[in-house]
Amino acid sequence: MRDFPQELVDCTLDELSNDLDTLKSCALVSASWTYRSQSHLFSEIRLATTRETGSLTRTLHNNPSLAHFPRNLEIWFDGQDRTTGVLAKCCSIRNLSLLWAMVAGTAESGEFASLVTGIENSASLPGLSRRWLE
């Protein structure tokens, strides 16, 4: 791929920005394709389970260069704090959505503490332009 202009690679990958499976494959083609593919793959993140949060935290720990890609982050709360590790690593978040998932038996007084922690943790994001609570 040495003779293929980077501008054409970038335009092609930008056109594929909604096709995550193809972007995953493209990220493995060559070093010149990796950065742009990863920027699309990690630009929007939705965390709904503790497993997803753990997976992302491990990925960012093992690949610190990925931490500047996330721009939009949506975190669902069900009584578990999912923000501490993720927000500490992702410093380029622009839009943060913190959503409460009402699960049977989680409406007790102390259960909203994880959401409050998420709000407090989001105050440390320098580029945050939109915080959405639902």
pLDDT at residue 109, rounded to an integer: 47
Ordered by start, the domain boundaries in the chain are 1-41, 43-133
So what's the pLDDT on residue 103? 54
Among candidate residues 5, 14, 64, the one with its CA nearest the CA of residue 39 = 14
pTM for this structure?
A: 0.75
Q: What is the pLDDT along the chain (134 residues), one digit of tens a residue?
A: 457 899 999 999 999 999 999 999 999 999 999 999 999 999 999 988 888 888 998 999 999 999 999 999 888 876 666 677 787 788 788 888 877 766 555 455 455 566 666 666 666 667 777 766 66
Helix (H, G, I), strand (E, B) or coil at 32: helix
**Element holding 47 (H helix, E strand):** strand 44-47
Chain centroid offset of residue 45 CA:
3
> Using CA atoms, how far apart are residues 96 and 94, in angstroms rounded to an integer?
7
